[in-house]
Structure 1
Amino acid sequence: MIKLQEGVIPEVEVKKPYALVAITKHGVQKARQMQRDFPHVDVYYMDKFQHGDEQTRGIQLFKGTVRLLLPALFKQYKGLILIISLGAVVRMIAPILIDKKTDPAVLVIDDKAEHVISVLSGHIGGANALTHEVANAIGAKPIITTASDVQKTIPVDLFGARFGWIWESDEKLTPVSASVVNEEHVAIVQENGETNWWMHDTPIPSTLKQYETIQQALEAKPNAALIITDRILDIEEEAILQNGVIYRPKSIVLGMGCNRGTSLEEIEAVIDETLAELKLSKKSVKALVTIDLKKDEQSFLDVTNRYGWEFVTYTPAQLNEMPLPNPSETVFKYTGAYGVSEPAAMRYANHQELVLQKKKSGNVTISVAKLHFS
């Protein structure tokens, strides 16, 4: 709990590049949803709206006026996203403004999340690009009031943010951004994820060249690279990362079942072991899915909250609608479904292909599917 006092700069825990702050009931609901839809934010809201899962989800509660919180956030974050009225925000940030070269981006979202407004540091601070990404992520209208917008290209640190993509590492964000802005040869390799990432009304610049494979990109010797994949790269492919950034699209579905009361540690160990065997990134997991009998399984609730994954359950009838490679009479006897992990993964992915069929490990059963993107 952050207790705010006049004249005291509060200590905050910074994990993500942007801070998302809400001070109303509806704003808090939107902030909690945005934490999943736009996973680049640390969420802050007033303690009186707490749900009880804030510590697990990494949400920071504060007590007192938000005006006393903003100076700390202003100094430590690349941008602030405030679900607060525009007038109130203007009054609160006015005393802490320094210079357009150093001030962070500031965005305002209305209480119904219908509009996202770029308020401060639109160009240098990246508020205009951030406004577009946040608006796309939450289905709102972006409001940009600067006379001229930024160069119409890819904002490297926000690439795919509206889809929930996250980078593997921020180590090369700055030099790769420089290559993009300076119109150098930048290779783009996309193995999965949403394909409608170009958001401008102009053609993609000729300096941004798309390649089918990482090997083809390496052979072209680009100055920088943007790689969109849920795979762990092979050693030979890692050369592309000398000046490259990997983006992890949300493409992996974990179908799971477990014995009642299975520990979080065992659940997570099976997930980690399975993804390592498949050479898939944990950062690309979108959802954990199971039977509705497990909707209150604490370890499933904890692991999905910890990583911001969707947690979806299906009825036995819904699971039985899926064609099963490994139906089980024993499972049917206890659950009313002929399978859990396999049909749940297939149903969520909306197709019948499995990357991994049912694997039993201790108290846990796991299957893996991937989402298809057009």
Structure 2
Amino acid sequence: MIELQEGVIPEIEVHKPYALVAITKHGVAMARDLQQKFPQVDLYYMAKFEQGDEQDRGIQLFTGTVRLLLPALFKQYKGLILIISLGAVVRMIAPILVDKKTDPAVVVVDDKGENVISVLSGHLGGANALTHEVAEAMQARAIITTASDVQKTIPVDLFGARFGWRWDAEDKLTPVSASVVNEEHVAIIQETGEKNWWMHDTPMPPSIVVYPSIQQAIEVQPQAALIITDRLLTESESVLLENGVVYRPKSIVLGMGCNRGTSLEEIEAVIDETLQELQLSKKSVKALCTISIKQDEVCFQQITNKYGWEFITYTPEQLNEMPLPNPSETVFKFTGAYGVSEPAAMRYAKTTDLLLPKKKSGNATISVARLTF
């Protein structure tokens, strides 16, 4: 709990590049939803709106006026997304402004979530690009008031953010951004994930080229690369990472079952081992799905809260609608469904193909499917 007091700089925990702040009931609801869609944010809101899951979700609560929180956020974040009225934000940030080269991006969202407004550091600080990405994630209107908006390209550190994509490592964000801005040859390779990532009303610049495979991109020796995949790259493919960034779309679905009382540690170990076997990134997991009688299973609640995954349950009737490669009379006897992990993964992913059929490991079973886009 952050207790804000006049003249005292609050201690905050910085984990992500952007801070998201809400101070009203409606604002908190929107912010909690946006945190799931836009994982690059640390979320702060007033303690009176506490819902009980804040620690699991990494949400920081505060008491006192938000004005006393902003100076600490200003110094430590690349950008602030504030679900606060524009007039109030202007008054609160005015005393702490330094200059456009050092001030963070500031974006304001109205309390109905209809407008996302670029307020400060539009170009140099990236507020205009951040505004577009947040607006896309919220299905809101982006409002840019600068005379010329030159961000008609890909903001490397925000690429796919509105879909929940996450980059693997940040060490190449700056040099790859420089390649994009300087119109060097930049290769894009997309193996999975949402396809409608180009959001401008102008064509992509000729310096940015989409290649159908990593191998073809390697052959042309681009000066930078953006790779969108849920796979772990092989050693030979990693040559593109000399000046490249890997983005992890939310494309992997876990179907799981477990014995009652299975520990978080065991469930996470099964997931980690399985993803490693399949050479898939944990950052690409979107949902964990199971049968409805497991909706109160503590280990499933803990693991999905820990990583911000969706936790989806289906009734036995819904699971039995799926064609099962390995139906089990034993499972049916105890649950009313002929399978749990396989049909749960298939139903969510809307596919009958599994990357991994049912695998039993200790107290758990797991199946893996990939979403199609």
User: Smaller-chain TM-score range?
Assistant: over 0.9
**Counterparts of 2:294 and 2:92 in 1: how far apart (Å)?**
46
- Please report how far the alpha carbon of residue 43 of structure 1 lies from its aligned counterpart in structure 2 after TM superposition: 0.3
**Counterparts of 1:11 and 1:150 in 2: how far apart (Å)?**
36
> What is the aligned partner in structure 2 of residue 283 from structure 1?
283
Secondary structure in 2 aligned to 1:13? coil
Secondary structure in 2 aligned to 1:275? helix
- Please report how far the alpha carbon of residue 128 of structure 1 lies from its aligned counterpart in structure 2 after TM superposition: 0.6
String of CA shifts for 1:5-58, please: whole Å, max 9, x gaps. 111111111110000001111111111111111111000011111111111111
> What is the aligned partner in structure 2 of residue 169 from structure 1?
169
- Please report how far the alpha carbon of residue 351 of structure 1 lies from its aligned counterpart in structure 2 after TM superposition: 1.2
**Conserved in 2, the CA contact under 8 Å of 1:187 and 1:226?**
yes
2:233 is matched by which residue type in structure 1? L
> What is the aligned partner in structure 2 of residue 221 from structure 1?
221
> What is the aligned partner in structure 2 of residue 240 from structure 1?
240
**Conserved in 1, the CA contact under 8 Å of 2:304 and 2:311?**
yes
> What is the aligned partner in structure 2 of residue 96 from structure 1?
96
**Counterparts of 1:244 and 1:337 in 2: how far apart (Å)?**
46
> What is the aligned partner in structure 1 of residue 8 from structure 2?
8
> What is the aligned partner in structure 1 of residue 110 from structure 2?
110
**Counterparts of 1:280 and 1:17 in 2: how far apart (Å)?**
25
Secondary structure in 2 aligned to 1:324? coil
String of CA shifts for 1:190-224, please: whole Å, max 9, x gaps. 11101111011111111001111111111101111
Aligned: 1:294 with 2:287: no
Secondary structure in 1 aligned to 2:62? strand
**Counterparts of 2:45 and 2:26 in 1: how far apart (Å)?**
11
Secondary structure in 2 aligned to 1:162? helix
**Counterparts of 1:234 and 1:130 in 2: how far apart (Å)?**
32
**Conserved in 1, the CA contact under 8 Å of 2:120 and 2:127?**
yes
> What is the aligned partner in structure 2 of residue 74 from structure 1?
74
When the two structures are superposed, what TM-score results if normalisation uses the length of structure 1?
0.99
Secondary structure in 2 aligned to 1:16? coil
**Conserved in 2, the CA contact under 8 Å of 1:258 and 1:363?**
yes
- Please report how far the alpha carbon of residue 151 of structure 1 lies from its aligned counterpart in structure 2 after TM superposition: 3.4
The 5 Å alignment of 1:1-374 reads 1-373=1-373
**Counterparts of 1:114 and 1:258 in 2: how far apart (Å)?**
42
**Counterparts of 2:37 and 2:319 in 1: how far apart (Å)?**
26
Change (3 A) 1:191 1:71: same
String of CA shifts for 1:290-322, please: whole Å, max 9, x gaps. 111111111111111111111111111111000
- Please report how far the alpha carbon of residue 145 of structure 1 lies from its aligned counterpart in structure 2 after TM superposition: 1.0
**Conserved in 1, the CA contact under 8 Å of 2:123 and 2:151?**
no
String of CA shifts for 1:137-166, please: whole Å, max 9, x gaps. 111111111111023110000001111001
**Counterparts of 1:27 and 1:290 in 2: how far apart (Å)?**
31
**Counterparts of 1:155 and 1:52 in 2: how far apart (Å)?**
35
String of CA shifts for 1:107-135, please: whole Å, max 9, x gaps. 11111211111111111111111011001
- Please report how far the alpha carbon of residue 104 of structure 1 lies from its aligned counterpart in structure 2 after TM superposition: 0.5
Structure 2: stretches of 5+ with no match in the other structure: none
- RMSD value, Cα: 0.7
**Counterparts of 1:334 and 1:60 in 2: how far apart (Å)?**
41
**Counterparts of 2:65 and 2:261 in 1: how far apart (Å)?**
41
Structure 1: stretches of 5+ with no match in the other structure: none
**Conserved in 2, the CA contact under 8 Å of 1:128 and 1:150?**
no
**Counterparts of 1:304 and 1:140 in 2: how far apart (Å)?**
27
**Counterparts of 1:130 and 1:251 in 2: how far apart (Å)?**
23
**Counterparts of 1:254 and 1:104 in 2: how far apart (Å)?**
38
Secondary structure in 1 aligned to 2:255? strand
**Length, aligned pairs only:** 373
**Counterparts of 2:85 and 2:211 in 1: how far apart (Å)?**
44
